[in-house]
Structure 1
Amino acid sequence: MSRPVRKRAGLAAALLAALLPLSAAAQDVLIRNATVHTAGERGTLRGADVMVQGGRIAAIGSGLQAGAAQVVDAQGQPLTPTFFGGLTGIGIEEVSGEASTRDASLALGENAKDITVRPEFDVTLAYNPESILLPVARVEGIGFTLLSAGTVSGGSIVGGQGAVVRLDGSPDPAGPKVLFLSLGAGASNLSGASRAGQWMLLQQLVDEAQGRIPADSQFALLTPAGRATLNRFLDNRGLMVVEVDRASDIRQLLRWAQKQRVRVAISGGAEAWKLAGELASAQVPVFLDPLVNLPGNFDRLGATLENAARLHAAGVQVGFSQSGDASHNARKVRQLAGNAVANGLPWDAALAGLTRVPAQAFGVGDRLGTIAVGQTADLVLWSGDPLDVAHTARQVWLGGRAMPMRSRQTELRDRYLRPAPSAESGALPRAYPARAD
């Protein structure tokens, strides 16, 4: 092996050795002199210290004693809880164009007469904590996401179940299961080409789950496991996340949820601002994309950049989730929040929409989403305003563990930004790995 190759190998080994202790176990850490955005009751604390012990936040104050803890000088920069990545397929979708790497939806029939409703379908069983998408999102300050069960042709308006996962490499969900439904024009092909058919099917599913339609009926749509699963949500033992945009569909959803006495949250909600008062009264959170502004379809004719601001002003809990390729671009969620601020949403409300609101809505608010004593130490130290894309995450801690600030994308960046070798050196172009002589 030549000297340059040995030198590069030695540097790589040294870097790996330096990173391994950071990811191996939680370490007691004192983050000193930070602008702590708690996303909770204490608001923003300037020049504050945060002590992390045993993977949890042990103390918040000024002049805390470090003891044996590692000290990180924040130099006044922002410290926040890790951010929510939105409703994604991180860990259940590797390459969107390759079917063998997508596990977010179920399709068992291609014709309307073959409608198969399987609420027992659970995407968390396919979760891969070693997906390369995890570090890509994590180095950008994303600490948790909601695995979403999508609807596809050959499926039904009931997508299945998902749950919150933390992006720390843990294989199991961090929160309770939620049930995903799709309503409106985007799901009409799953309900006989009519949005009215969606309410007919939902009523039949309720009647089946509650025994008003016999399990052996030729018209039954649910399996025994499906009836048990749906009953759990109808008994208010779980949250239903409904993808819906048009105001009239949201109105019908609120009426249905009140009649069935179930808990719902809205994903999308392009026209939700038109029913802001009703949503606030029903305590229904809305997870929206603030960049949905133009009427891309007939369900979004009332889309506006002020959606988040208007909902918040009425008392609605607002969170964020990107439309489109959310799994591979979860990091852009803070850009969404920044755009909501630019269009009237208070900064603190935008931060809450990335932290506390999703944590509470999806059943992990007792551990995640705020900086408070006793909470899991999932934290991000930023170089500046985290809602300004000019700034970046300096360090991410998950459960008190300092995460390596590397991903496949940063490695590719560094590889292709190497200085080009000179013609005299005889080295390979920078796009190729070094080879032994």
Structure 2
Amino acid sequence: MRLKSLILAAASVVALSTPALAQDLTAITGGRVLTGSSVIENGTVVIQNGRVVSVGTGAAPSGARIIDARGKVVAPGFVAVDSGLGGSEISSVGGSDDLSNGANTISAAFDVSYGLDPWSFTLPVARLGGITRAVVVPNHPGGSGGHNHQDDSDFAGVGHAGLQSPSLFAGQAAVIHLGQGNDILVRARVAQVAPFGEAGAGVAGGARGAEFTQFRETLTEVRLYARNRAAYDRGDVRDLSLSRADLEALIPVVEGRMPLIVTVRRAADIQQVLRLAREEGIRIILDGAEEGWLVADQIAAAGVPVLLNPISNLPGNLETRGARMQNAAALDAAGVVIAIKGNEGSIHRARETRYNAGNAVSHGLPYEAAIEAITVNPAKIFGMAGQFGELRPGAAADVVIWSGDPLEPLSLAEQIWINGQEQAPTSRQFLLRDRYRDGGEGALPPAYGR
């Protein structure tokens, strides 16, 4: 009997750690379908081979596995942006945090994709909050990615002759999916990251003017290096302030092929960053932008998207004295493409992304815009429009059936598919709850006295 119990327990663990085998053809019928950009009442979503086949009001195809979603909401999986999911387990424990880098010889070239952990306990928790994809960013002074507890000065690294110490650049972001299995990387090196404003000024020596000057000089050096690689190899180029790896990593930025995520909060700093991007011909994504509503028209005119937390409304310092809960609504009304973030680095609280979207709706953001801000917009911002974050033919079959409105805190994600594979609706927390709540053999360690 004891052996049988152990076998059953082992089987349950394997079931939780292995992707559920997807049916060849599945139709989710009768639900209120949020495609990401529209609403279909009594809709039918058909998925096959990991992709969405069709979305509409037609009948389910013959031979399909039918999932009855009547009275429920069917939505695309949500996307966590500016996140540390898979890159940090416990932010205060350095050995479990692969988002922070202090080596000044590797800064812009720092690639978070190499530190991703597909077995992280944080992924199932976020998944139960409807999160199926995430944009994982390196941590840096002033940023929220990873919710690191270190002081800004901890990023300074050890000095190295001729190199920036610390660097203006934090590294390169990656896109992951939260499906079960051992390979969660979707795309590496989707964006470069750099702090501006007060945090960036601190890195550059204390003044904003110093940072902008140093940033421009760095871009000049990258262009010089790109034109003279052979001369650089021969030692015929003057000393440059970045390592070869960092120079190579920044070439896509200066050529406009890779966006630069710029952490900036104050309206005045936003204006200067927009000017910098225009004059240098680089693509930027604003991160934070708590005072963005003050210059919303300028952000929109520049065609620059914004990653924001809509509940950031406290003037914690002079950079955010104009922060307000209507920021998301004002930016959207001006025509800015926005993506809504979770809280504290979108790791342990990534599931609160939908709560933040709901709060933005309560402060003027249209409901449809809030759904777009956590689905289609993140994919669009990071150059992957149509590939995920939307229920449309050809997109990844990341689908969530909700018990009710997904922006309502009491709604539950009842069934979840990622890449067409149905996910186990559990987490380590649920397993521990069930173990100690239900009792029975193996519920407590043998030496535990009852």
Give the TM-score taking structure 2 as reference length.
Answer: 0.86
Is 1:369 equivalent to 2:383 in the alignment?
no
Is 1:32 equivalent to 2:35 in the alignment?
no
Matched residue type, 1:128: D
Matched residue type, 1:32: T
The question of whether the paired residues in 2 share the 8 Å contact of 1:86 and 1:333 is answered with: no
Displacement of 1:275:
0.8
Displacement of 1:292:
0.7
Question: What is the CA–CA distance in structure 2 between the aligned matches of 1:65 and 1:25, rounded to whole Å?
Answer: 17
SS in 1 for 2:176: strand
- 2:123 match: 134
Matched residue type, 1:187: G
Among 274, 292, 295, which residue is 2:315 paired with?
Answer: 295
Deviation larger for 297-306 or 223-232:
223-232
- 1:389 match: 409
Identity %: 33
Question: What is the CA–CA distance in structure 1 between the aligned matches of 2:409 and 2:299, rounded to whole Å?
Answer: 31
How large is the Cα RMSD of the aligned pairs?
2.5
Displacement of 1:124:
0.8
- 2:63 match: 68
1:379-418 alignment to 2 at 5 Å? 379-418=399-438
Distance 1:360 1:175, change over 3 A: farther
Deviation larger for 161-170 or 43-52:
161-170
Among 65, 76, 79, which residue is 1:81 paired with?
Answer: 76
Is 1:163 equivalent to 2:158 in the alignment?
no
Is 1:314 equivalent to 2:303 in the alignment?
no
Residue by residue over 1:344-383, the C-alpha shift from the partner in whole angstroms, topping out at 9 and shown as x without a partner, is 0001100000001001101221311111111111111101
Displacement of 1:125:
1.5
Question: What is the CA–CA distance in structure 1 between the aligned matches of 2:188 and 2:96, rounded to whole Å?
Answer: 24
Matched residue type, 1:105: S
Deviation larger for 385-394 or 193-202:
193-202
The question of whether the paired residues in 1 share the 8 Å contact of 2:34 and 2:40 is answered with: yes
- 1:23 match: 20
SS in 1 for 2:185: coil
Matched residue type, 2:80: G
Deviation larger for 162-171 or 201-210:
162-171
Is 1:335 equivalent to 2:355 in the alignment?
yes
Among 124, 136, 142, which residue is 1:147 paired with?
Answer: 136
Residue by residue over 1:313-347, the C-alpha shift from the partner in whole angstroms, topping out at 9 and shown as x without a partner, is 11111111134242111101111101000100001
Question: What is the CA–CA distance in structure 2 between the aligned matches of 1:412 and 1:196, rounded to whole Å?
Answer: 53
The question of whether the paired residues in 2 share the 8 Å contact of 1:86 and 1:330 is answered with: no
Displacement of 1:55:
1.1
1:26-425 alignment to 2 at 5 Å? 27-40=24-37, 43-108=38-103, 118-151=107-140, 153-154=155-156, 155-168=166-179, 169=181, 170-174=183-187, 177-211=190-224, 220-418=240-438
Displacement of 1:220:
2.2
Matched residue type, 1:339: N
Question: What is the CA–CA distance in structure 2 between the aligned matches of 1:157 and 1:321, rounded to whole Å?
Answer: 23
Displacement of 1:46:
0.4
Question: What is the CA–CA distance in structure 1 between the aligned matches of 2:360 and 2:93, rounded to whole Å?
Answer: 33
SS in 2 for 1:257: helix
Displacement of 1:176:
5.2
SS in 2 for 1:108: coil
Question: What is the CA–CA distance in structure 2 between the aligned matches of 1:319 and 1:21, rounded to whole Å?
Answer: 31
Question: What is the CA–CA distance in structure 2 between the aligned matches of 1:180 and 1:26, rounded to whole Å?
Answer: 40
Mark the runs of 5 or more structure 2 residues left unpaired by the alignment.
142-154, 157-165
The question of whether the paired residues in 2 share the 8 Å contact of 1:148 and 1:180 is answered with: yes
SS in 2 for 1:137: helix
Displacement of 1:241:
0.8
Displacement of 1:401:
0.6
Question: What is the CA–CA distance in structure 1 between the aligned matches of 2:238 and 2:16, rounded to whole Å?
Answer: 60
Distance 1:161 1:325, change over 3 A: closer
The question of whether the paired residues in 1 share the 8 Å contact of 2:358 and 2:407 is answered with: yes
Displacement of 1:11:
5.9
Displacement of 1:10:
6.8
Question: What is the CA–CA distance in structure 2 between the aligned matches of 1:26 and 1:185, rounded to whole Å?
Answer: 52
Mark the runs of 5 or more structure 1 residues left unpaired by the alignment.
110-115, 422-426
Give the TM-score taking structure 1 as reference length.
Answer: 0.89
The question of whether the paired residues in 1 share the 8 Å contact of 2:20 and 2:422 is answered with: yes
The question of whether the paired residues in 2 share the 8 Å contact of 1:209 and 1:230 is answered with: yes
Displacement of 1:58:
1.1
Question: What is the CA–CA distance in structure 1 between the aligned matches of 2:113 and 2:15, rounded to whole Å?
Answer: 32
The question of whether the paired residues in 1 share the 8 Å contact of 2:45 and 2:55 is answered with: yes
Question: What is the CA–CA distance in structure 2 between the aligned matches of 1:19 and 1:94, rounded to whole Å?
Answer: 19
- 2:147 match: none
Displacement of 1:433:
4.3
SS in 2 for 1:243: strand
Residue by residue over 1:377-408, the C-alpha shift from the partner in whole angstroms, topping out at 9 and shown as x without a partner, is 11111010000111110111011110111111
SS in 1 for 2:20: helix
SS in 2 for 1:210: helix
Distance 1:344 1:242, change over 3 A: same
SS in 2 for 1:380: strand
SS in 2 for 1:211: helix
Instruction: Give the number of equivalent residue pairs.
Output: 417
Distance 1:218 1:106, change over 3 A: farther
Deviation larger for 152-161 or 391-400:
152-161
Matched residue type, 1:158: F
